[in-house]
Structure 1
Amino acid sequence: MNDVPTRLPQSLYTCGTLVALKLQNVSLADVRFPVCFQLLKTLHLDLVIFLDDESPKKLLSSCPVLEVLDLNRPEDDYVDTFSVTVPSLQRFIYRAVEGGDELVMNTPSLKYFRSKDFGLRCVIEQMPEIVEAHVEAICSTDDILRSLAPVKRLLLCLSLESPFPSGCVFHKLVHLEFCTCEIEWFLLMSMLQHSPKLRSLKLNKIHEKGGEYHPIHWIEPSSVPETLALVLETFEWRNYRGWKVERQLAAFILKHSRRLKIATFSPPANTVMRVGLRTTLKRKYGMIRELARLPRGSTECELVFG
């Protein structure tokens, strides 16, 4: 790919018959607005450079029936606050590198949202139609979680400082995948306490960080979330290492999940390469024995170790 952003002819931006458009390593700094994309339903912006904060607003406002937006922002696209105000948008994939940028969203029809954002701030309006979301962020998360309250399937990977929004309830959430790479367990407990229909829980260390990272200490909550006692049916823990703090959490979930049908634990895939096959098997059987001895609140719970 050419390092210098391409400048495309102005005639492209007035092609009213386009239905899908992908711009990669393109500069829109000299585009003359308004433009016309009356029929455009799918738009990919991959490493696109703008003139200023107003340029993305003008571009998106020219797409009245846009349904899919895939946005991959470069390190410097000359936009401080990227506003996505698209009433028709149903699917939004957002990626941004580290920086001080801000994402502002007003997408009332959105059904699918995927975000990998290493910026500092996100401002998201309510998304009443949201069904599925994958959120990896180190930005302020109160707005994100509150806006995602109607979601049915959710993947979360948030920073240590992420708060749980007061009064927020995930009334429709049935599946939660929770990243354990850098997180305190209190946020997980808050999610369980405020997700009354959660049937499936998956824990997974999605990202590899330098060195051995041990999760923050486990403090057993004073009360058991009703989700565990009455609703949860499947539990999966990928990249389970058998550390003391992980065993404590596993013991709590297994003990109090009265309707649990299956609990699956999988060790990290790279364990064999780091410590050798013999040591890996020894660790694996040790973890199996430890997990098998843990009390289970459900007599129907099948324990699987992959």
Structure 2
Amino acid sequence: MVPKLKFTFSIRNGDNDVDLQRFSDNVCRSMLSLQTPVLQSLHLEVIAKKSGTIDFGVLVGIAFGHHVRELVLTVEFSQGSFRFPINLYKCEMLETLKLGGCGSSIILDVTSPVCLKSLRTLHLHYVFFKDEESVLNLLSGCESLETLLVRPSRNDDVKTFTIAVPSLQKLTIQSGYGDGADYVINAPSLKYLNIEACHHYGSFLIENAPQLVEAEIFSGNVIMGSLTSLKHLTLSISHLEMKVPAGSIFNQLVYLKLFPSELEDWNLLMLILDNSPILQVLKIQSGYGVEARNEWKAPKHVPQCLSLHLKTLDWCVDGIEYGEEVAEYILENASRLEKLILSFDVDNYSLSEEDKLQVWHAMESMCPYSCEFDLVG
């Protein structure tokens, strides 16, 4: 009657066919002895040199027969792979599916639309899709999906990874080296977006996300559609391509955090400020050695958010050159500023106490008289 089960097998070296067969038999016997009407969760983790004789299809099929609600399957083979059986895409009671692999240990070959109508959470860690059609067929059959995490395996056969899920509310994409796919996001109910990607590897097109409230983007090749609903934005990129009408980019944005690492990022900051009329909180995490001196030019006009709405400026310094001219420009023009917070990166030991004191005095001298000044660290 146990409603939650977890089975783990881990032998990375040697010939493990006999051990893997014994493990598979033990799991099968345990699953067949179940009497609980609903299996709340099944975690199955197999780490082995090669796939051997384990039959995941049978084990997962038994779980589906017990109306499993959560299935977590982690498979890592040095040799061989596991092809998720197509008949197991028809579990109408499954609510959470988490698949994790290594290389091509788990292959998703989805030749027709699935039927996972109760699925709300889907995690795909290093899963190998056979083709672009498999991506479309899997996601199109998840009509109730709310949370999706994609951490793709290197796959030259998927050039365009299309995420078109009307019910999706939370999306995380963590793309590493070797993943050259272009991502297209069409999610009209999306409220939270997180993109973490290596630079110069593929692109991300936010095609349709009219309800997006919060976005955290760590990538260098993102094309944004109109994000008029966005309220919280975190950016750590050097080149942001914005495909929107001028003056209508971030008209609901109240919180912005930026990680500048070169001169272009200061220009990006000014572009966002100019198109964020009601921004109230600005956080700057300046990278080591980032400066604007003698290169950065202040805009000819003051953004509306600075003169009317900005209340908090939070500046974390990671080096003696931290964009002092930009900070001075903001502080001079932020007439409604109520609080200035200055902090130092605790993991950076290149800043001496004398350096910190120098930055502190500079910021303090620029701080408006009526503004509260806090020093952290």
What range is the shorter-chain TM-score in? 0.7 to 0.9
Mapped partners of 2:305, 2:113: distance in 1: 51
Superposed, 1:146-161 pairs within 5 Å as 146-160=225-239
Mapped partners of 2:217, 2:154: distance in 1: 20
Q: How far has the Cα of 1:247 moved from its partner?
A: 1.1
Q: Percent identity?
A: 32
Q: How far has the Cα of 1:3 moved from its partner?
A: 3.9
- Residue pair 2:84, 2:109 contacting (<8 A) in 1 also: no
Q: 1:227-263: per-residue Cα shift (whole Å, max 9, x none)?
A: 11110000111134342x6111111111111111111
- Residue pair 2:313, 2:341 contacting (<8 A) in 1 also: yes
Superposed, 1:39-54 pairs within 5 Å as 39-54=118-133
- Residue pair 2:318, 2:348 contacting (<8 A) in 1 also: no
Unaligned runs of 5+ in 1: 207-211
- Residue pair 1:103, 1:123 contacting (<8 A) in 2 also: yes
Q: How far has the Cα of 1:159 moved from its partner?
A: 2.2
Superposed, 1:127-276 pairs within 5 Å as 127-139=209-221, 141=222, 143-144=223-224, 146-160=225-239, 162=241, 165-167=244-246, 168-182=248-262, 183-205=264-286, 213-215=289-291, 217-243=295-321, 246-272=323-349, 274=350
Mean alpha-carbon deviation: is it higher for 37-46 or for 122-131?
Answer: 122-131
Tell me the SS of whatever aligns to 2:115.
coil
Mapped partners of 2:212, 2:242: distance in 1: 21
Q: 1:111-154: per-residue Cα shift (whole Å, max 9, x none)?
A: 11111133332222221111111011111x3x32x333320101
Q: How far has the Cα of 1:67 moved from its partner?
A: 0.7
State which of 98, 108, 116 in structure 2 corresponds to 1:22.
98
Q: Does 1:289 align with 2:361?
A: yes
Q: How far has the Cα of 1:6 moved from its partner?
A: 3.4
- Residue pair 2:129, 2:158 contacting (<8 A) in 1 also: yes
The verdict on how the C-alpha distance between 1:190 and 1:138 changes in structure 2, with shifts beyond 3 A counting, is: same
State which of 62, 68, 74 in structure 1 corresponds to 2:153.
74
Larger radius of gyration: 2
The verdict on how the C-alpha distance between 1:77 and 1:92 changes in structure 2, with shifts beyond 3 A counting, is: farther
The verdict on how the C-alpha distance between 1:293 and 1:164 changes in structure 2, with shifts beyond 3 A counting, is: farther
Q: Does 1:121 align with 2:196?
A: no
Superposed, 1:88-99 pairs within 5 Å as 88-98=167-177, 99=179
The verdict on how the C-alpha distance between 1:67 and 1:29 changes in structure 2, with shifts beyond 3 A counting, is: closer
Q: 1:68-104: per-residue Cα shift (whole Å, max 9, x none)?
A: 1011112336311101110111110111124431001
1:14 counterpart letter in structure 2:
K
- Residue pair 2:166, 2:189 contacting (<8 A) in 1 also: yes
Mapped partners of 1:191, 1:61: distance in 2: 35
- Residue pair 1:205, 1:239 contacting (<8 A) in 2 also: yes
- Residue pair 1:104, 1:124 contacting (<8 A) in 2 also: yes
Mapped partners of 1:77, 1:47: distance in 2: 14
Runs (4+) of structure 1 moved beyond 6 Å? none
Tell me the SS of whatever aligns to 2:83.
coil
Mean alpha-carbon deviation: is it higher for 63-72 or for 183-192?
Answer: 183-192
- Residue pair 1:180, 1:215 contacting (<8 A) in 2 also: no
Q: Report the count of equivalent residues.
A: 290
Report the TM-score, using the length of structure 1 for normalisation: 0.87
- Residue pair 1:47, 1:73 contacting (<8 A) in 2 also: yes
Tell me the SS of whatever aligns to 1:266.
strand
Mapped partners of 1:247, 1:204: distance in 2: 13
The verdict on how the C-alpha distance between 1:185 and 1:64 changes in structure 2, with shifts beyond 3 A counting, is: same
Question: What residue number does 1:209 align with?
Answer: none
The verdict on how the C-alpha distance between 1:161 and 1:19 changes in structure 2, with shifts beyond 3 A counting, is: closer
Mapped partners of 1:164, 1:102: distance in 2: 16
Mapped partners of 1:164, 1:221: distance in 2: 22
- Residue pair 1:184, 1:215 contacting (<8 A) in 2 also: no
Write 1 or 2 for the structure with the bigger share of strand: 2
Report the TM-score, using the length of structure 2 for normalisation: 0.71
Unaligned runs of 5+ in 2: 1-46, 48-75
Mapped partners of 1:34, 1:160: distance in 2: 37
Mapped partners of 2:82, 2:276: distance in 1: 47
